[in-house]
Structure formats: C-alpha cells, structure tokens
Amino acid sequence: MASQTIEASAIGYGAGFIIIDPLFFHYGVGLSVWFASGTTGTVSVEYTHDAGVFSGTYNQATGRWIEHPVLKTLTGSLGSSLQYPCTAVRLNVAGISAGGRIALGVTQVGQ
C-alpha cells in the first residue's frame, strides 16, 4: 500500500500532483480532501490521463485536467475514490482563507 499527501495554502494548483501507479490501481485508489480546523475555501480534485506526468518536465498548466465527479467545488472535508485508471491527481484551489490549509490524501493498494 502506498499513501501520499499534498497540501495547499494558496489559490491554484501549486501544491503539485500525485502520480497514480498503474500497478496499484487494480484494488482501487482512495481519495480524501481535508480542511484544517478553521480553514474555509473551495477546492476541486482533478485527474488527468496525460502520459507526460511520468517525465520530470511535465507542465501542469498545459495539461488536460478533468474535475472529479464527486470531489468538486468542495467547501469541507470529504472522501471518495477513483473508479477508472488515470495517471495523476491534484488539488485545484479556487479560494482559501488566510493561513488556511487544505490537503489531498491518496491511498493506492496493489498486489
């Protein structure tokens, strides 16, 4: 099992992205969005099928990102999963309170 977390404290997608390992996808991928205590804001989880994420030169700004059907325009913590393979996921923060923190946790379970 592999777990990773990225955390955002500013508007945009500057927290980076988490690569989804296709070898681990067989048993599913869990996603959790967590708002720190006192944090207000709006955030969406996005995924991509871009193969370029595996290179060290991938540019998120020119990538093809799609909003997750459940984890979109969230204003509080929520969990879901990926039902179909993809190559990476990220947070896209539309708004966040001063000093706020929003995290995306990803758990991949493989053979």
Going from N- to C-terminal start, the domains of the chain cover 2-108
Q: What pTM was estimated for this model as a whole?
A: 0.93
The first and second tokens of residue 104, run together, are: 């995306």
Top-tier CATH class for 2-108: mainly beta
pLDDT at 26: 75
Burial 32-48 (b: 16+ CB within 10 A, else e): bbbbeeebebbbbbbbb
The first and second tokens of residue 111, run together, are: 């053979």
Alpha-carbon radius of gyration of the chain? 13
pLDDT at 109: 82
pLDDT in tens, the chain (111 residues): 689 999 999 999 989 999 998 877 777 899 999 999 999 999 999 999 999 999 989 999 999 999 999 999 999 999 999 988 899 999 999 999 999 999 999 998 875
